[in-house]
Chains A and B, each alone.
Chain A
Amino acid sequence: MPDGRRTRGAEWSVTLPSFLWLIVLFVVPSVIVFAIAFKPATPYGGIGAGWTLDTIRSLGNPNYPAIVWRTIWLSVVTTVACLLLSVPMGYTMARAPKRWQNTLLLLVIIPFWTSFLVRIFAWKMLLHPEGALKRSLVALGVAGPDTQLLYNSWAVLLVLVYTELPFAILPIYAAAEKFDFRLIEAARDLGASPFQAFRSVFVPGIRRGIVTAMLVTFIPALGAYVVPDIVGGPSSEMLGNKIAQRTFVDRNLPEASALSALLALAVLLPTFGVLALNRGRNLLAPKSESSP
């Protein structure tokens, strides 16, 4: 490409539209979240004038630590469960004959194309105390008549895994597809059992996909709102619920803002952790190497 001052102008003109838009509608609102955490609330659900530390102090609410802890805990378990399921799945999919791979991929993606709310609602129906599932479990003697499948942390966990799993499978599959499976054969040839080969050759080989899968599972789980709202109960409240409650029920925007800031910090930590690990190890690989 001919270089020179001309292309500098060309570069700015291609970059500016998206750049400006995101500055105004993404960066600025994000900053505002942190700013409003220092403002007082008006009784009518608005934002008051002046600045105050009261809102920040409200974070000291004794209910919060349990909620935060539960949010982190559920997110971790969800992520682990998703990984445990998606890695063998990615393995199977990548090893399947080419014709099948597309079909399998479609099978994984299609539920994702149905409405998010609808899928959660479907689980609400399934797990309903008078639903078919509960009644079959009781009939099988696995559950008692009082066992609650719904409105608790287990339901939330189950549905979180359900909604996040496709997001975990896709990057794992993408990495597995590029994996050279002859390495597994070589390991087997040298005496490794299937599990050993899987663990010491395959898993490290797709570590980029695993890191991506962890990111796209853990972070949305941290911010989960709809799932605990629909299939969870008071004992399974997550940070997202609290933020929504403060916004829509209590009409206290500054407190909601403070909580959001807290959530944002919780999200930033693993992200920066990954970025720090990424230096030199190219785990996120945004784009191919550019030639001189």
Chain B
Amino acid sequence: MKRSRVPLYTTIAVLVFFYLPVLVLVINSFNASRFSAGWEGFTLDWYRKLWGAREIWHALRNTLIVATVATTVSTVLGTTAAFALHRYSDRLQQLHYLLIYTPLVIPEILMGMSLLLFFVAIGFELGLTTIILSHITFSMSYVTMTVLGRLQDFDWSLIEAAQDLGADWWTTVRRILLPLLAPGIAAGALLAFTLSIDDFVITFFVSGPGSTTLPVRIYSMIKHGQPPLINALSTLLLVVTFVTVWLSQRLMGDKR
């Protein structure tokens, strides 16, 4: 039976489309040319400059602080929410689900704007704390959806079997539910971490002076020149991402 090649060609074209700018970026990070117009020789200058750029290190530090705290809290909140949604299905949970689902579908700028207005209205000073609070708010839903998906695939008869054999609720959670759910929770946490590290719009709206994160710093670098530094930074970020993904795949033991 003759199969059309169109879908396959589309796929290849899209993949090329995806990686083209990334490739150009990486290549140009070694390009001695200031404006990446033409190739002017290989250099590691930009990386050296990057190393000495204190603002960038400061921003990176902020980013990591925010991501760590936000991930921890949103993982806990998101996991409990997933439990609630999975175990119960009454009116309360329907409302709960709506609350969880909606942040996923509204544009970031709306969320950033509303949080900014909220903090201004209650007189809360903008800074790392407001960023952390905002990150928790939007990443919680992602954790919930991830864990909820795993819960739905979870074999509930295992819980009943544990109880049948004499384990009370807490023992069952501790010995059966959590160990088996751990990969799912970890996946949710990883997602929250990634989202937090990369978030720009919401962070931009709720950050104050001195609480710059890396994306915000990158944005101002883009707006105010210094393209080669950005190239070098981007390449480094790419490498870090790849390594992290590779590590997590290894840790998860390749289960699907």
* 1/0 contact string of B126-158 vs chain A (CB within 8 Å): 000000011011001000100010001000000
C-alpha spacing A198/B8, complex, angstroms: 13
- Knowing A26-B137, A29-B117 are in contact, say whether A194-B200 is a contact too (CB < 8 A): no
Q: Please tell me which one of the listed residues B85, B101, B234 contacts residue A118 in the complex, with CB atoms under 8 A apart.
A: B234
* Contacting residues of chain B (182-206) with chain A, CB-CB under 8 angstroms: 194, 198, 200-201, 205
Contact B101 A110 (CB under 8 A): no
**Which of A17, A23, A107, A130 has the most chain B CB atoms closer than 10 A to its own CB?**
A17
Contact B25 A122 (CB under 8 A): yes
Contact A194 B2 (CB under 8 A): yes
Residues of A contacting B22 in the complex (Cβ-Cβ under 8 angstroms): 111, 114, 119, 122
Contact B109 A260 (CB under 8 A): yes
Beyond A219-B105, A267-B107: 8 further Cβ-contacts under 8 Å? Answer: A22-B140, A33-B113, A113-B245, A162-B21, A220-B107, A223-B109, A267-B106, A287-B85
* 1/0 contact string of B41-84 vs chain A (CB within 8 Å): 00000000000000000000000000000000000111011011
What distance in Å separates the Cβ of B227 from its nearest Cβ neighbour in chain A? 7
Contact B227 A223 (CB under 8 A): no
Across the two chains, which residue of chain A brings its CB closest to B140? A18
B247 within 8 A of A: no
* 1/0 contact string of A160-192 vs chain B (CB within 8 Å): 001001100000000000000000010010000
**Which of B81, B106, B113, B133 has the most chain A CB atoms closer than 10 A to its own CB?**
B113
Contact B84 A116 (CB under 8 A): no
A-B residue pairs in contact (CB < 8 Å), sample of 30: A14-B80, A21-B136, A22-B100, A26-B99, A26-B103, A28-B118, A33-B114, A88-B6, A89-B7, A92-B10, A104-B11, A114-B238, A115-B198, A115-B234, A119-B22, A121-B25, A122-B21, A124-B222, A125-B21, A125-B227, A126-B24, A185-B1, A219-B107, A223-B107, A223-B108, A225-B109, A226-B219, A263-B110, A267-B106, A287-B86
Residues of B contacting A118 in the complex (Cβ-Cβ under 8 angstroms): 25, 218, 230, 233-234, 237-238
Interface bracket on B:
35 or more
Would you call the interface of chain B mostly helix, strand, loop, or mixed? helix
Residues of A contacting B92 in the complex (Cβ-Cβ under 8 angstroms): 11-12, 15
Residues of A contacting B238 in the complex (Cβ-Cβ under 8 angstroms): 114, 118
C-alpha spacing A110/B239, complex, angstroms: 11
C-alpha spacing A275/B22, complex, angstroms: 37
C-alpha spacing A219/B109, complex, angstroms: 11
Q: Please tell me which one of the listed residues A32, A188, A230, A240 contacts residue B222 in the complex, with CB atoms under 8 A apart.
A: A230
Across the two chains, which residue of chain B brings its CB closest to A194? B4
Q: How many A-B residue pairs have CB under 8 A?
A: 244
Contact A225 B201 (CB under 8 A): yes
What distance in Å separates the Cβ of A156 from its nearest Cβ neighbour in chain B? 15
A66 within 8 A of B: no
Interface size on A, residues (CB 8 A): 86
C-alpha spacing A194/B8, complex, angstroms: 13
C-alpha spacing A222/B109, complex, angstroms: 10
Would you call the interface of chain A mostly helix, strand, loop, or mixed? helix
C-alpha spacing A185/B87, complex, angstroms: 40
What distance in Å separates the Cβ of B66 from its nearest Cβ neighbour in chain A? 15
Contact A21 B77 (CB under 8 A): yes
- Knowing A28-B118, A113-B245, A125-B227 are in contact, say whether A18-B100 is a contact too (CB < 8 A): yes
C-alpha spacing A223/B87, complex, angstroms: 35
A234 within 8 A of B: no
Q: Please tell me which one of the listed residues A17, A30, A47, A131 contacts residue B114 in the complex, with CB atoms under 8 A apart.
A: A30
A288 within 8 A of B: yes
B20 within 8 A of A: yes
Top 5 nearest A-B pairs (CB, nearest first) are A223-B107, A122-B21, A29-B114, A18-B81, A88-B7
What distance in Å separates the Cβ of B69 from its nearest Cβ neighbour in chain A? 14
A9 within 8 A of B: no
C-alpha spacing A198/B80, complex, angstroms: 42
Contact B234 A121 (CB under 8 A): yes
C-alpha spacing A106/B136, complex, angstroms: 26
Residues of A contacting B89 in the complex (Cβ-Cβ under 8 angstroms): 287, 290
